[in-house]
Structure 1
Amino acid sequence: MELNNVQTLYSFETEYNADSVEWCPHDPHKNLFVCANYQLIENETSDNCTKRLGKLLLFSIETEKGLQLLQTINTLAILDQKWCHRKINDFSILAVASTERKVDIYKLNEETVQLELMKSYKINSTPETLVLSLDWSTGIHVLNKPEILCSDSKGNIHLLELNDNVAWKETFHGHEYEAWIAGFYYWDTNIIFSGGDDSLFLKFDRRVGKQPVSKNKSHEAGVTSFHSNPSKEYLVTSGSYDENVRLWDIRKMKTELNCLKMPGTLWRLKWDPFQNTKLLAACMLGGVHIVNTNSDEMEIIGSYYEHKNIAYGSDWSYLEEKKCDEFEGLGQYIISSCSFYDRLLCVSKVHLPS
């Protein structure tokens, strides 16, 4: 069935390949989001023939001014980024994962509406190591010293703490190949999950050591996405190159609660920030989709096919329905999405049956 309930509000062509979008979760800046870029630059005059460069783009949307690019920061190539769920010292904080094993921490200056680099941290690994994913420990809990979980291209999962600086706490070796994703179980952040190119979906409990307490082998290809549900205890989701979205009860990891075949390979899964019953799925060459999980059988209830070349990034806006109504067209949600080689960023309005 063709679903046409996701309509483009704005589009933007990025200079570099686009691979991640993240909306600010905090008032008064829920109309802001960041788009991250990753570009291989050929160097014809050197034997070291390529460099990985990136840009961090800060955007706003407004009913009168539309989509505005507020800031461009030249960086190393970026693979993932996440806003801290809670403000820290009254600032919105963004963590950025990049090449050369770096994690950068930015704060949003509310007066200038610009991102300012606060701190940087280099993972203790070989120079070519890439930091592939990030998550914050603040999905449910308010913490004075929040933790950041990141995964890398050597199969490791690193635990950092943000205090006066960025401090390393622990490293877990989880996967033989790239650890594409790592995430906290928000209800108890002693528990962490990771997924790798070895098709393993691992669960760790920091209280009992550095070895995984469960090794799930249900995925038929690399595990690329994970998100803990902040409203329903024990519920988490995973996605894979095998094109399936899976729901899990973390107490019974042998068999998934539910599974849905998608139109393409999964890269990112995000619970909606309102009811936490819908998943936004970036399916690479298979489009961007919204999945309803609040029934016996999961189903796709919204689809977006404007991206022609590897949709890596997608995220829900935190703008409430009343604010979304101010923008053109039908719909109670606003999302953004981006794709790689066509360098396309889109902001769209989603209309779902109530």
Structure 2
Amino acid sequence: MENTDLPVLENIKTLHKYDTIYSADSVEWCPHEPNQNLFVCGNYQLTEEQEFNSNNKRLGRILLFTLTTDLKLLQTLDTAAVLDQKWCPNQINGSSILGVVNAKRALEIYKLQNSFLVLVTKYTFLEDQSTETLILSLDWSTGKTESQHPHVACSDSKGNIHLLQLINNELVMEKSWHGHDFQAWITGFYYWDPNIIFSGGDDAVFLKFDKRAGDSPVAKNKQHETGVTSFHSNKSKEFLVATGSYDEHVRLWDVRSIKNPLNQLKMPGGVWRLKWDPFSQRYLLAACMFGGLHVMEAQSDKMVILDSYYEHKNITYGADWSFLNCNGNVIIGSCSFYDHLLCVSNFTCDF
């Protein structure tokens, strides 16, 4: 079943715009009180020379912002180019923890301390000397069940999936395996059972792994027409997960059988990021690269775009919901690449 309804509302209103200088590709809001007004924006600076010469540096920054009545930059961290960032859903020893993966084959862990990010530890993955390796995505295992020793899954540009665990402020490698023939754009946990890990790659394959069953996938799906770029598990609705693809579709799946999607929706552009809302997990926020930013109602029997946002003109990569919910007014952060634009917006909806 495919629904192609177009948006009819205009409930996304810009509150702030910010020039990030470097190209922007990631926005992530802190989920924990009293820091839910804080968020990070990740940058990946690509020059013409760097695009064709991998020996040059890929520059990056992590920008930490606070939102009150105004938008204020609190901190700038110069790093390798940032590919993805995720806050750990639960606090570790009372601190908010941020995971960041970058173009220097590293997973970095920061903690929020007095409204500043402090590096706790990092893990650098082994390099295949023939070509460079980028760590493309990460996810935490604790989207539903808290742990003081959470696992982190990462994917890389060689098609590999890595599973690590954060133990006493140190990252311990548990296992790595090869999943995709090309870039593994995304990996993520099934939050109802973190033994289950999904991945999607540029080979247009969507894979399900069970770490108790070895390194081979326990299920494989080839229905995406082009690369699988996004995945998010729904923490409120058991068995429900969502994927996005370059083929301009968002698909919903039942994890018990990923042979066919439960539902799918054609979007206005290739889908790069999908985020379930943190309140009801009924809505998806979709960053659609050249097709704008969209809020959609996403259920197995109903998929429809509720509203669209077109302030970003050049590759909308980053998108996230704030955990602040003021009487149905929800804050959204989004960013785009070549126009290095960060936007903070208000979305009005009945959650």
TM-score range, shorter chain: over 0.9
Pairing 1:244-283 to 2, within 5 Å after superposition:
244-283=249-288
Give the TM-score, by structure 2 length.
Answer: 0.94
Residue 143 of structure 1 aligns to a residue whose secondary structure is: coil
1:134 and 2:131 are equivalent in the alignment: no
1:60 to 66, 70, 79: 66
Superposition misfits of 4+ residues, deviation over 3 angstroms: 41-44
8 Å CA contact retained: 1:293, 1:299 = yes
Residue 38 of structure 1 aligns to a residue whose secondary structure is: strand
Equivalent-residue separation in structure 2 for 1:135 and 1:233 (angstroms): 18
Gaps in structure 2 of 5+ consecutive residues: 1-6
Counterpart of 2:177 in structure 1 is: 172
Counterpart of 2:83 in structure 1 is: 79
Identity %: 59
8 Å CA contact retained: 1:284, 1:310 = yes
Counterpart of 2:165 in structure 1 is: 161
* Residue-by-residue CA offset, 1:78-136 (whole Å, 9 max, x unaligned): 00000000000000000000012111100000x3x100001010112326200000000
Counterpart of 1:325 in structure 2 is: none
Equivalent-residue separation in structure 2 for 1:71 and 1:295 (angstroms): 41
Equivalent-residue separation in structure 1 for 2:208 and 2:343 (angstroms): 34
1:343 to 333, 340, 345: 340
* Residue-by-residue CA offset, 1:48-91 (whole Å, 9 max, x unaligned): 7632010000001002xx00000000000000000000000000
User: C-alpha root-mean-square deviation of aligned residues, in Å?
Assistant: 1.5
Counterpart of 2:149 in structure 1 is: 145
Letter paired with 1:337? S
Equivalent-residue separation in structure 2 for 1:48 and 1:298 (angstroms): 41
Equivalent-residue separation in structure 1 for 2:49 and 2:28 (angstroms): 31
Equivalent-residue separation in structure 2 for 1:49 and 1:154 (angstroms): 17
Pairing 1:238-317 to 2, within 5 Å after superposition:
238-294=243-299, 296-317=301-322
Equivalent-residue separation in structure 1 for 2:347 and 2:234 (angstroms): 21
Letter paired with 1:148? V
Give the TM-score, by structure 1 length.
Answer: 0.93
Equivalent-residue separation in structure 2 for 1:291 and 1:60 (angstroms): 27
Distance 1:273 1:302, change over 3 A: same
Aligned residues: 340
* Residue-by-residue CA offset, 1:261-309 (whole Å, 9 max, x unaligned): 0000000000000000100000000000011014722000011000000
Counterpart of 1:326 in structure 2 is: none
Equivalent-residue separation in structure 2 for 1:139 and 1:230 (angstroms): 7
Counterpart of 2:121 in structure 1 is: 119
Q: CA deviation at 1:159?
A: 0.2
